[in-house]
Each structure stands twice: as structure tokens, then as C-alpha cells.
Amino acid sequence: MPSHSIKNCLAFFPIRVGPFGAKKSEMGTNYSIADVVEKKSSASVAQIFFQFLVLGLLVLLLINYKGAAGLNRIRQTRAAGALHLASLKIGADAGNDATAFSNALAYLKIVWPALVFGVLISAAARTSLSRTPLRRLLEGGTVRNQITGALAGAPLMLCSCCVAPIFPAVYQRTRKLAPALAMTLASPSLNPAALTLSFFLFPWRVAGARLAMALLLVLAGSLAVAKVTGPSVPDLNAEPEGEDVTWRGLLSSYASSLLYVSLRTVPLILAGIWASMWVMRQLPSNLGANAGAHAVAVMIIALFAVLLTLPTLFEIPLALSILAVGGPVGGAIAVLFAGPAINLPSLLVIGRYSSWKVAASLGAMVWAIAIAGGLLLG
């Protein structure tokens, strides 16, 4: 065979030169692949730990912020026998010079730190649920998923507006409507500070009614809404899940999630706050006394309570004012329950990211429970 033919064969088949050469080349190739896999695995574990750290730190900071404020309110209420909150005049009490826009600004001045927390936690949840095993928490049975959603939402103690950005993050990443609703409803409805203050300032029958109605809504009402409205497909194409497993891709995913939440969710909340403040300006200061018959009064008060936008704990003085002007006890119960549970801004967010049928059904569910509880327990 000519020498140039031998050289060509060696060039195309270098591992055929000899057994030692073949073994050395094969071992080198296997070592390189294992090294790459090991590096990727190490980076993946480190990234998962980092994402859990970021999300956990945000939640702990929020719990510290809301919990410390709640404990202070509880101490002050026990010492003074009354709950003192920042001024937020609504309805006829707002005065002729006030506008829905100025009322919305006054509301945002109170809740903006909590809203910032809601946006940041939403962005972190969007990223972590698509890149970590965190979504497996909602892959159990129906009962377990509902309890998990309630336990995840209650410690946040966010008002309905501020927890609204977290709903699309959980729903879009898990495709579980019922537990996503349970978490969103549990944050304002099962707020430990609000429930504690309710038992301090109201008769046990009234405070107990609020707690029972909140548990019914969070655990069963959200599930019923999901079943009645049928399966709906979340807007998964709005922002694709991250596929870049590098650290740069992870940080980019955080940034894109934060931008997505800020541009697509916050404007809905702001528009809903303004609309809700306009509705609140139509309320007479003595609504409870002028609503007419007991059943009609409870129905009207419950309807306004569903639409009202109230900061955390503000449902308590509103319910007390209904009782002070001679309004029905059932109306006060309806406000204590429906006031924090849901409002117009959160319904807009839920409708945008699930379906308007879900939002309408949820609003009707809250209204129905508020009426039933107000009439039966009031």
C-alpha cells in the first residue's frame, strides 16, 4: 500500500493506531463528559439553593415587616381598648374636595411597601417555580394542595391588592387554579394579626363568624370556583420559562420576571384602586343605618365590601362604624369577611391571568358567603 494511503487512513481513524492509543483516547473522552456533567450538576444545586435563599429571604423580611406592625397594633389595642390606624377617609367622609385619584394616592401611601414586597416575591416565585422542585409542593391531592396554598398565603399577611401579583406567578407556573386562589385569598382573609384584633374588639360570635367564613372561602370556596369554571389555560406564552441554566440566565430570568410583573400586573392594580376609590366615594357615611330592612342591608353592605379596596386592618374600624350608627351586626360581619378577602383590583388581576369567568365567580362566591354568614351568624 502506498505511504500516502496509510497516512490518510491514520488521519481519518486515529483510534485505530493501536490498543494503547485507543484506550487512552476513549478514557480522555469519558473524563471530559463526566467533568462537564459534574460541573453542571454542581451549578444546578448552587442555583437551586440561591433561588430558595432569595425567595425565603423576601418572605422572612415581609413576615418581619407585617408581623412587627401587627404585634404593635395588638399591644396598642390591648392597652388603649381601641384600634388606631392611619387616616383614610372614604365615602361621604372624604369631603367635597377629595377625588378618586387623591383617595387612591392616599391608599398607595399606606400600602406601597407591601405592594413592593408583593411584586418582588412574585418575580422570585416565577423564577423559582420554573427552575426548582418547588412546584412539587402543589402536585399532591386536592386536600393537600388546598392546605398548602392556605399555609403559604396566611403568613404573608398582605392585603388583597398587594398579594394579587403573586397569583399569576403561582398559577402560570403550576397550572393549579384552586391552590393559587387559596393562597391569594388566605393572605388577607387568614391574617393572624387581623383575626386576633377581631377577637379583641368584637364579640366572640362576630369574630368567630369571620374566621369560619374565611376558612370556608379559602379551603372550599376557591376549590368550588375552580370546579365550576372548568379547566382554563393560563397565559403561558406571555413569558417563556427559562431554559438557560447558567448563572447569567438565572439572573436574566429574575430581571425579566420583575419587568413582566411590573409592566403587566401593577397597572391593573393601580387602575383597580382608582375605580374602587370612585365606588367608595358613592358610599354614604351612615350606610348601615340607611340600607333598609336587615336582609337588604346585609346584601348591599356585602356588595360594597367586595368592591372596596382597604389596607390591612381597615375593615375593623369600618365594621365598628357600621355598628356605631345602628347598622346590622350581619353587615359588620360581612365587612369583616369580604372587605379584606377580595377587591376590585385583585379581581382584575385574577380575571386577566385566568379568565373573567373565574373572577366573576370568585366575586359572587365571596358575596354569597358574606350574605349567608351575615344573615345566619349576625
For the stretch 282-338, pLDDT in tens is 766 555 555 556 788 899 899 989 988 888 888 998 898 888 888 889 999 999 999
Q: Rounded mean pLDDT of the chain? A: 82
| pLDDT score recorded for residue 159 | 94
Highest average pLDDT, of 31-35, 146-150, 248-252, comes from 146-150
pLDDT tier at 140, thresholds 50, 70, 90: confident
pLDDT, position 284 = 62
- Rg for the chain, CA atoms, rounded: 27
Range in 205-219, 312-326, 335-349 the model is least confident about: 312-326
Stronger pLDDT, 174 or 98, i.e. the higher one: 174
Would you state the pLDDT for residue 350?
96
Amino acid occupying residue 160: S
For residue 192, what pLDDT is reported? Answer: 95
Winning range, highest mean pLDDT, from 15-24, 44-53, 213-222: 213-222
Give a three-class secondary structure readout of the chain: CCHHHHHHHHHHCHHHCCHHHHHHHHHHHHHHHHHHHHHHHHHHHHHHHHHHHHHHHHHHHHHHHHHHHHHHHHHHHHHHCCCCCCCCCCHHHHCCCCCHHHHHHHHHHHHHHHHHHHHHHHHHHHHHHHHCHHHHHHCCCHHHHHHHHHHHHHHHCCCHHHHCCHHHHHHHHHCCHHHHHHHHHHHHHCCHHHHHHHHHHCCHHHHHHHHHHHHHHHHHHHHHHHHHHCCCCCCCCCCCCCCCCCHHHHHHHHHHHHHHHHHHCHHHHHHHHHHHHHHHHCCCCCHHHHCCCHHHHHHHHHHHHHHCCCCCCCHHHHHHHHHHCCCCHHHHHHHHHHHHHCCHHHHHHHHHHCCHHHHHHHHHHHHHHHHHHHHHHC
Q: How far apart are CA 268 and CA 270, in angstroms?
A: 5
Mean pLDDT of 89-114: 74
Q: What is the pTM of this model?
A: 0.82
What is the average pLDDT across 46-60?
93
Mean pLDDT within 53-66: 94
Q: Is the pLDDT of residue 26 over 60?
A: no
pLDDT at residue 24 above 60?
Answer: no
Cβ-based burial of 4 (10 A; exposed 0-12, middle 13-18, buried ≥19)? exposed
Contacts of residue 166, Cβ cutoff 8 Å, sequence gap at least 6: 118, 121, 122, 125, 156, 183, 184, 187
Looking at the chain, the whole-number percentage of residues with pLDDT higher than 90 is 52
Q: Which of 7-16, 204-213, 227-236 has the highest mean pLDDT?
A: 204-213
